[in-house]
Amino acid sequence: MKKDSTIREVKPPFAPDSRQAWIRLAVALVIGSIGSVGMWSVVVALPAVQAEFAASRGDASLAFTLTMAGFGIGGLAAGRLTDRFGIVAVIALATVLMGCGYVAAAQASALWQFNLIGLVVGAGSSATFGPLMAEASHWFERRRGIAVSIAATGSYIGGTFWPPLVGWGIQQFGWRPTHIAIGVVGSVTMLAMVALLRLQIGAGSRRSHVDAPPPRIDLRLSSNTLTTLLCVAGIACCVAMAMPQVHIVAYCGDLGYGVARGAEMLSLMLAFGIVSRVGSGFLADRIGGIRTLLLGSVAQGFALLFYLFFDSMTSLYIISAMFGLFQGGLVPGYAIIIREAMPASEAATRVGTVILGTVVGMSLGGWVSGIIFDATGSYAAAFINGLGWNALNIMIMTALLLRARSRLQLATAS
């Protein structure tokens, strides 16, 4: 009996891929779905805010740019804090920050104030994406790819129900009361879910990476070099990704279909993105993160090409669904690659750094597309710009894949 007691004392408190891991993942998914509102509400509110402040499309698009900048910078800080203090405290702090940001945005008396507050909203939302993906990677080994993808799917689940909900609120009550409602209801709900996540993780095991499985692959690159390459790749793919996601609502308005149709297309795009993210997770568990991300990038390029040639309402619905289905697995792919090749103890920091790169791409893509529209009166040149950036992403991921193959052959030969 004494021997059995000793065994129980040294038994690890948590096993990867266990039932407890899946429960944690389910709670994380709900948190990510609610917290992602910061990424999507500004897109739906863009026409109303532009009209109230009599701004140009480029100036109004800056709100999204600053929100995503706050999301990226906040994600980097949240990643570092998560590696040190654990995910629960970081998300709780971020939730309060996001709620205050939404209430403050509703009081804005000028466009520059609304845009600047976007930094706060984005920073608050950031902890519910990159840090959650890194955290989920510590809970799984055999199903790490699907776990990371599911954690990232929260932003697309939120993207499915938030745009229509925010759009309805703006139509019924105006964008200011809608922002206050998001801040109050969202914060209360998320804090309740954070408390539930704390119960699942436990106060004695704040940092999940302590018992996390080790890396799977060796690219023979330093962590800093690989992080830099992934950041550049993330910028490139997300400049391309931002064109439809940020401007589809305004694009439909310009074509005469109405912003409500555009919000429906955005919702459809993100709904199919859910399928893509989950599917890419299954695929990554079989062929690896690099190959999965490369396939997604090539497919995204084809979808962007279709936007250039078709603009009827029916075709835009179809292409938006295709775009979501093709590109949904790209961003979580970077987190999967990081956990396949880097130590668990720095995963949240590295993921936060690369997510910052993707956010730079989204911010740059959303803003530049608005500038291109103002200069040309059309989104055609913006779609072409996205295709060029997407090609850069394909080049980087192809180079990493070829390097991985050569190292494998070298290891086999030796």
- The answer to whether the beta carbons of residues 284 and 336 sit under 8 Å apart is yes
pLDDT per residue as tens digits for the range 15-39: 788 888 899 999 999 999 999 998 8
Cα 68 to the chain's mean position, in Å?
Answer: 10
Token pair belonging to 337: 């690659």
pLDDT per residue as tens digits for the range 197-228: 888 776 545 555 555 666 677 788 888 999 99
Predicted pLDDT of residue 4: 46
What CATH number does residue 324 fall under? 1.20.1250.20
CB-neighbour burial class of residue 2 (10 A; exposed 0-12, middle 13-18, buried 19+): exposed
Q: How many CB atoms lie within 10 A of CB 316?
A: 23
Nearest to 240 by CA among 374, 353, 373, 388: 388
Which of 43-52, 209-218, 228-237, 267-276 ranks highest by mean pLDDT?
228-237
* HEC profile of the chain: CHHHHHHHHHCCCCCCCCHHHHHHHHHHHHHHHHHCHHHHHHHHHHHHHHHHHCCCHHHHHHHHHHHHHHHHHHHHHHHHHHHHHCHHHHHHHHHHHHHHHHHHHCCCCCHHHHHHHHHHHHHHHHCCCHHHHHHHHHCCCCCHHHHHHHHHHHHHHHHHHHHHHHHHHHHHHCHHHHHHHHHHHHHHHHHHHHHHHHHHHCCCCCCHHHHCCCCCCCCCCCHHHHHHHHHHHHHHHHHHHHHHHHHHHHHHHHHCCCHHHHHHHHHHHHHHHHHHHHHHHHHHHHHCHHHHHHHHHHHHHHHHHHHHHCCCHHHHHHHHHHHHHHHCCHHHHHHHHHHHHCCHHHHHHHHHHHHHHHHHHHHHHHHHHHHHHHHHCCCHHHHHHHHHHHHHHHHHHHHHHHHHHHHHHHHHHC
Predicted pLDDT of residue 270: 77
- The answer to whether the beta carbons of residues 252 and 293 sit under 8 Å apart is no
Nearest to 132 by CA among 232, 237, 24, 286: 24
Q: How confident is the model at residue 13 (pLDDT cuts 50, 70, 90)?
A: low
- Within a domain: residue 14? no
- Within a domain: residue 168? yes
Rounded mean pLDDT, 135-161: 86
The tally of domains found in the chain comes to 1
pLDDT per residue as tens digits for the range 231-243: 999 999 999 998 8
Predicted pLDDT of residue 188: 94
Predicted pLDDT of residue 22: 92
Q: What is the largest CA-CA distance in the chain?
A: 80
Least confident of 162-171, 200-209, 269-278, 387-396: 200-209
Q: How far apart are CA 173 and CA 48, in angstroms?
A: 12
% the chain with pLDDT above 70: 91
Q: How far apart are CA 78 and CA 350, in angstroms?
A: 11
What one-letter code names the amino acid at 221?
A: L
Rounded mean pLDDT, 4-20: 59
Rounded mean pLDDT, 124-146: 88
- Within a domain: residue 1? no
Least confident of 54-68, 246-260, 268-282: 54-68
- Within a domain: residue 288? yes
Q: How far apart are CA 144 and CA 335, in angstroms?
A: 10
- Within a domain: residue 175? yes
Rounded mean pLDDT, 368-384: 87
Predicted pLDDT of residue 51: 86
Only one residue has tokens 């109004």, namely 60
Is residue 152 over pLDDT 60?
A: yes
Predicted pLDDT of residue 7: 40
Predicted pLDDT of residue 6: 43
Rounded mean pLDDT, 385-389: 93
- Within a domain: residue 10? no
What one-letter code names the amino acid at 79?
A: G
- Within a domain: residue 135? yes
Predicted pLDDT of residue 355: 86
- Within a domain: residue 12? no
Q: What mean pLDDT is reported for the chain?
A: 85
Predicted pLDDT of residue 10: 40
Q: Residue 129: give the domain boundaries.
A: 19-408
